[in-house]
Amino acid sequence: MMVRGHEVDNRWVVPYNPYLLAKFNCHINVEICSTVKAVKYIYKYIYKGHDKIHFRLNSDNSNGSNSDAYVSAIDEIKDYQSARWVCAVEDIWRIYRFLLFEMHPSVIHLQLHLENCQPLNFRQDQDLRDVVRNRFAKRTMLTEFFYMNSTNSLARNLKCTYKEFPEHFVWYPGRRRWEPRKQKDSISKIVTASPMEGERYFLRLLLTHVNNPTSFDDLRTINGAYVHTFREAAILRGYFESDKSQEQCLEEASLYQMPYSLRRLFATLLVHFPPSNPRILQISVDQIRLQVLCQINEFLQSMGKDINQYALVPNTLYFDSLNKNTRDTVAETRISVPKHDLLAIKQLNTEQKKAFDIS
């Protein structure tokens, strides 16, 4: 549309939420955070640390020798690390011993190891034979997860995967055991395993999908048939009938790995469990080129320019057909709306219906 002789579109409209404006009585911009770039923004402000200043105390003594000795004794690194400025808010917060930070929900990293390959802690003067015979020392999150599935009635009824288990049970490191969760909630994550690690990677894949396993042997048993490797078990369970596992592996690695590591990972996938169609996992040169130009265009548009003004390529570029939605955004658009929610529209009064149609 044209406004005062200038063409404007949705980029010139600031998104807002009437409810938030009325509740907090202040100016609030509403933005969607659907990419990993939001992590950098959040951590920048929450984990930036205490406010600090740089200062130095000088003596009024004009004696040159004493001044030189004082200057030579200055440790700039120590002064920088110890420099603090505590505001009144933080001061009273510390006086009353309130919590300065809290992570909610808590994040639990689930241990991952092959059978009889768990790490053991022991003292230097301790007999290694006693350490090996100590069953308590051998307990880990994973071994006790198997034990709970075979002995605990609640765990058997829930039929959880390893990743879902901490939603209902709490791990106590001192006692090395799982106990039913009574309050709060948590987010769990199985520690990462690369395909280059072989059996450990396939064990992680099985623990992600298999419900209520009771042992390592149980994971290797499919329809009463026992196989000797976790790789065979994963194949027989049908986890490699499609390229979805390989796609998820590459997509996750692309968030933090460098190009060299991604190429090595792709080669590892081709060797250890080849995808049915390797070309699907690759992006063509034209697609890469178009995505690069699209990102450059986004930077130029933020400065009020357009990439077509600079004739970087012989043809006019159009990016409307390029799918720039993230996986989370696409997943949200695929959510089906229940029928009772659609029928609720008919229960709106005249003014509500008018507001609903406008929005």
* Cα–Cα distance measured from residue 268 to residue 282, given in angstroms and rounded to the nearest whole number: 14
Q: Using one digit for the tens of pLDDT, what is the confidence trace for 140-182?
A: 999 999 999 999 999 999 999 999 999 999 999 989 999 999 8
Note if the pTM is more than 0.75.
Answer: no
- Positions of the chain with pLDDT under 70: 31-37, 40-41, 43-73, 80-85, 241-243, 273, 320-332, 334, 359
Domain segments of the chain: what residues? 106-239, 288-324
The DSSP bridge pattern shows strands 2-3 and 177-180 to be unpaired
pLDDT for residue 112: 94
Assess whether the previous peptide bond of 274 is cis (omega < 30° from 0): no
Are 199 and 273 spatial neighbours (Cβ–Cβ below 8 Å)?
no
pLDDT for residue 213: 94
Q: b/e for 143-177, b at 16 or more Cβ within 10 A?
A: bbbbbbbeeeeebeebebbbbebbebbbbeeeeeb
pLDDT for residue 153: 93
pLDDT for residue 103: 76
pLDDT for residue 215: 94
| Residue positions counted in the chain | 359
Can you list the alpha helix ranges (DSSP code H) found in the chain? Answer: 18-24, 37-46, 64-72, 76-82, 88-95, 128-133, 141-151, 153-158, 199-209, 216-219, 230-236, 244-253, 259-272, 285-302, 327-333, 339-343, 350-358
- Dig out the tokens for 155 from the structure: 């765990």
The counts of H helices and E strands in the chain are 17, 8
- Candidates 226, 224, 265, 231; CA nearest to 248 is 265
